[in-house]
Amino acid sequence: MAREAHLLPESCDVAVVGGGPAGLAAATCLKLAGVESVVVLEREPNAGGIPRHCGHPPFGMREFNRCLTGQTYARALVERAEKVDVRIHVNTSVVSLEVGGGITVSSTQGDASITAGRVILCTGVRETPRSTRMVSGCRPLGIFTTGSLQSMVYLKNSIPFRRPVIIGTELVSFSALLTARHAGIKPVAMIEENACMTARAYCRPLPMILGVPLYRSTHVLEIMGKERVTGVRIMDNAGTERTIDCDGVLFTGQFTPESSLLRMAHLEVDPASGGPVVDQYGRCSDPSFFATGNLLRPVETAGWCWREGVRTAAVVVRSLDGQLPLSERTFEITSRSSLIKYIVPQIISLPHNGDGAGHLQLRFQESAKGSLCVQQNGETTWRKTMHAKPERRVLVPTPRFTGDVVDHAIEISFSATS
Ligand SMILES: Cc1cc2nc3c(=O)[nH]c(=O)nc-3n(C[C@H](O)[C@H](O)[C@H](O)COP(=O)(O)OP(=O)(O)OC[C@H]3O[C@@H](n4cnc5c(N)ncnc54)[C@H](O)[C@@H]3O)c2cc1C
């Protein structure tokens, strides 16, 4: 039976933009904490976010103490939210954000404006498509990202190719391998520019188990074919070229936050993470807006984003109750190493008594061994020797401010050892 569509409200206590794991977790927890009107605005026909088209496990260990497929997990999150009367508006795209919590939506009910006490932005990430990867060749049919492949296979029951080449070895590239296996697609190669695979060691045997040759230290020179993909020309770091016959190319990973709404609005965007500039509470440069989940930075797992959504809900409840201090002063966190790709949050609001995000999240550009060091007011307050790897989470305890605070930014540096 078709579910009755809720009418869009003119105002609400909290509007959640994006109904993925982070948004649904935040909305559910807000209702459980007694916030009266909470709406989720989701542009797709169903809420659940990326997991809706991940037909494979493992999802849900933190949230449901069970190992679920992405699709079952997405449905369970939606059910949990609806049970506590979260209003989920699907087919509803947020098209603009206004100062102080205003949003404009475009939906099947027409265009509308909503005034929200607080807005939580959770629009997630997307993969970098071929158009921005500067790979030469014509534009034949058969070029996809993992997300588009998964939505074809799991949501539209359609198979776009039979023998693709997979570009990349991030965690999501293995998600692509599993999707291919499910659909009877037999990838003919996996290509990695670096000498090592990006994903963790436990993923590494999968290409071999599935009989997919892996080419490391190799990049794509050209996609061949005019109407349809017929092959790719690749070259390794020694300069050896070869051609692989295939009928498709799958670009995986190289995630970027879905921050187009922020870029068109008044909110500050961090060029390093690609997401909004936030303080330790996930509060944006306009304090009526908060951000959570993968929009903050590329890229984390569903369970991690769900937990961030839970934490953000607690902070937003305090903000609605007037218990979250408006920042008297903010301290920037500055990177002093080109090896550090980004740091989130980017600022600390004072007064800061240790609540909010317990950790700063960092990512490295490339594999590096050395010592990561935090300095406050010129003094080293934290140091750790590590072997950092690209696309791996690095956590640094959020600096505390004790005694007299002097006007010095917090600096994070990395001294590489050979
Ligand atoms: C292709 C792909 C495969 C992945 N595979 C895995 C995996 O196997 N396991 C894993 O743990 N993680 C995986 N991830 C990471 C994934 O991002 C997280 O699992 C999780 O979905 C992040 O949750 P989120 O709520 O932050 O964002 P998302 O799940 O991305 O949800 C964001 C939601 O916001 C909506 N939205 C965006 N813009 C608007 C707008 N303007 N108006 C209204 N709605 C909007 C989107 O439609 C979407 O539903 C994958 C990511 C991608 C891109």
CB of 283 within 6 A of ligand 1: the answer is no
**Mean of the per-residue pLDDT values for the chain?**
94
- 165 in the same domain as 60: no
> Quick check: is 145 in a domain?
yes
> Quick check: is 210 in a domain?
yes
Q: What's the burial of 131, exposed, middle or buried (CB within 10 Å: 0-12/13-18/19+)? A: exposed
Q: What is the CATH number of the domain that holds 194?
A: 3.50.50.60
Instruction: Tell which wins on pLDDT, 2 or 308.
Output: 308
Cα dihedral sign, 144-147-148-154? positive
**pLDDT of 95 strictly over 50:** yes
Distance, in Å, from the CA atom of 283 to the CA atom of 138, rounded to the nearest integer, reads 44
- 142 in the same domain as 80: no
CB of 50 within 6 A of ligand 1: the answer is yes
Contacts 24+ apart (CB under 8 A), 107-110: 107/8, 108/5, 109/5, 109/7, 109/8
CB of 35 within 6 A of ligand 1: the answer is no
CB of 298 within 6 A of ligand 1: the answer is no
242-277 residue pLDDT tens: 999 999 999 999 999 999 999 999 999 999 999 999
Out of 202, 218, 253, pick the residue that ends a domain. Answer: 253
CB of 183 within 6 A of ligand 1: the answer is no
Q: Which atom of ligand 1 is nearest to the CA of 292?
A: 26
Start-to-end C-alpha separation, the chain: 64
Q: Which atom of ligand 1 is nearest to the CA of 58?
A: 9
Who contacts 129 (Cβ-Cβ below 8 Å, separation ≥6)?
Answer: 145, 251
Q: Which atom of ligand 1 is nearest to the CA of 21?
A: 25
23-47 residue pLDDT tens: 999 999 999 999 999 999 999 999 9
Distance 214 CA to ligand 1 centre (A): 27
- 31 in the same domain as 169: no
**pLDDT of 292 strictly over 90:** yes
Q: What is the CATH number of the domain that holds 390?
A: 2.60.40
Domain assignment of residue 83, given as a range: 11-126+256-324
Per-residue pLDDT, averaged over 105-128, amounts to 96
Question: Angle, to 10 degrees, between the axis of helix 302-320 and the axis of helix 21-32?
Answer: 40
How confident is the model at residue 216, as a pLDDT? 96
Choose one of 8, 16, 46, 50 to mutate for the ligand 1 pocket test, by most ligand atoms within 8 angstroms of C-beta.
Answer: 50
- 369 in the same domain as 297: no
Report which protein residue has its CA nearest ligand 1's atom 41: 94
> Quick check: is 1 in a domain?
no
CB of 21 within 6 A of ligand 1: the answer is yes
Distance 257 CA to ligand 1 centre (A): 10
CB contact at 8 A, 123 and 295:
yes
CA dihedral 202, 208, 211, 214 (to 10 degrees): 100
Out of 324, 341, 365, pick the residue that ends a domain. Answer: 324
Q: Phi/psi class of residue 253: alpha, beta or left (left: φ > 0; alpha: ψ in -120 to 50)?
A: left
**pLDDT of 186 strictly over 90:** yes
CB of 294 within 6 A of ligand 1: the answer is yes
- 313 in the same domain as 345: no
pTM: predicted TM-score of the whole model, two decimal places: 0.95
- 373 in the same domain as 267: no
Measured from the Cβ of residue 93, the count of other Cβ atoms closer than 10 Å reads 14
How confident is the model at residue 152, as a pLDDT? 96
As for how many domains the chain has, the answer is 3
- 234 in the same domain as 136: yes
Distance, in Å, from the CA atom of 345 to the CA atom of 194, rounded to the nearest integer, reads 29
Alpha-carbon distances of 162 from 191, 215, 247, rounded to whole Å: 17, 20, 7
CB of 18 within 6 A of ligand 1: the answer is yes
Distance, in Å, from the CA atom of 242 to the CA atom of 125, rounded to the nearest integer, reads 33
> Quick check: is 388 in a domain?
yes
Report which protein residue has its CA nearest ligand 1's atom 10: 301
- 248 in the same domain as 193: yes
What string of DSSP letters covers 381-393? EEEEEEEE-BT--
